[in-house]
Amino acid sequence: MSLGRCSKVVTRELHCKRQESRIHTTSLSPVGVTIKVPKQTDFVDAGVRLICQGRTHCDPDQDSNMTHWEQDIIPEYLHHTYWWAYLHPQAVRFWERQWLVNLILWGNFNALREEALRHVQDHFLNGESGTKNILQIACVYGNLSEHLVSKILLNRNNKQQSTSDSKYNYHIVDIAPIQLKNTFEKLAYRIERLNPKTLTVNKNDYNRSSVDILLDQQNSSQLSFETGSMDCVLLFFLLHEQPLDVRVKTLNEAIRVMKDELIIVDYHQPVHRLNPWKYFMKQVLTRLEPFAMDLWNHDISQWIDPHYRSQVHIAEKKLYFDGLYQKVVIRKIEQKDTSDHSTA
């Protein structure tokens, strides 16, 4: 090993150590500078490709067949407030349970998932063939992504779909490498089980759509997608976890990149004064999720940038579980629609 290379390695080790200690001083989040996953995994029989994207490295020591996601761009509020939920390896192992995420939402996970996916599905059914882009901003514990993929691929979920040559790009972005890796592993496992060769699904259940699932490390407050490039965008329980400045940027970035529709599912203040959940959840959220009260006290539309106000409208706002949860659909004004709407 030449002296130059040796000093480069030593420098990188020092850099890693510095980063490890920096992360350790602020939280109990995982150590290490990058998390690696394969760049691409193909499930040919299921018509699915799992593609992991990341910043390109010119470092010859990095394995070019693997995507490297970096720890050091995780924002401070995540380290500080949510290390126990999203960053610590034990946290991922603990929380990634369907029954548990359902319990946290008081048994409403499936209903809220279906409400969100119903809108996404409308975009599958609008009759036009060609490529559709769907963006999910932030990974979600539980089976949301898996259901979205199966709704695209399986006729039994999607009876009206007859378009034979539809191609779907399902983008999932998150800032935390460990969450992206978890989503990659979860989807790889599930898609393997959706594969007609290996399992329970009859070949006739499949339509002829194909899906590229693209996982990428991005900050929701500064997305790299082009303006108007996503047919629909999904924000599932993300906004209540972000401090105001990040939340405002996330919402407006979601509006910027959407072509048709943005679907938001999140907390909301219960409607009835005597609702027992109201007082219990207020205590829980105030202690564990310090930014969540903003979603109780403010209407999401007030965070829409004045620049976008004339371009979008609130096409739908629906409350669930006596108002503890809300679904808000924000739509581009140019689009013709028959549902009731009020200007944002």
Binding residues for ligand SAM (CB under 6 A): 75, 78, 86, 101, 138-142, 174-176, 179, 219-221, 236-238, 241-242, 246
Report the distance separating Cα 203 and Cα 241, nearest Å: 41
CB 145 within 8 A of CB 191: no
Q: Which amino acid is at 273?
A: R
- Measured from the CB atom, the residue of 161 and 179 that comes closer to ligand SAM is 179
CB 78 within 8 A of CB 86: yes
- Measured from the CB atom, the residue of 206 and 225 that comes closer to ligand SAM is 225
CB 260 within 8 A of CB 231: yes
We find the least distance from the C-beta atom of residue 135 to ligand SAM, in angstroms, to be 12
We find the least distance from the C-beta atom of residue 313 to ligand SAM, in angstroms, to be 25
Paired with 179 in beta bridges are none
CB 175 within 8 A of CB 148: no
Report the distance separating Cα 264 and Cα 104, nearest Å: 18
Return the closest-CA partner of residue 253 out of 238, 267, 275: 238
Report the distance separating Cα 101 and Cα 227, nearest Å: 33
Q: Which amino acid is at 170?
A: Y
Burial environment of residue 67 by CB neighbours within 10 A (0 to 12, 13 to 18, 19 or more): buried
- Measured from the CB atom, the residue of 37 and 246 that comes closer to ligand SAM is 246
We find the least distance from the C-beta atom of residue 180 to ligand SAM, in angstroms, to be 8
We find the least distance from the C-beta atom of residue 149 to ligand SAM, in angstroms, to be 17
- Measured from the CB atom, the residue of 174 and 316 that comes closer to ligand SAM is 174
We find the least distance from the C-beta atom of residue 207 to ligand SAM, in angstroms, to be 29
- Measured from the CB atom, the residue of 47 and 142 that comes closer to ligand SAM is 142
We find the least distance from the C-beta atom of residue 59 to ligand SAM, in angstroms, to be 24
We find the least distance from the C-beta atom of residue 205 to ligand SAM, in angstroms, to be 28
- Measured from the CB atom, the residue of 104 and 188 that comes closer to ligand SAM is 104
- Measured from the CB atom, the residue of 78 and 211 that comes closer to ligand SAM is 78
Number of helices (H) and strands (E) in the chain: give both, helices first. 11, 12
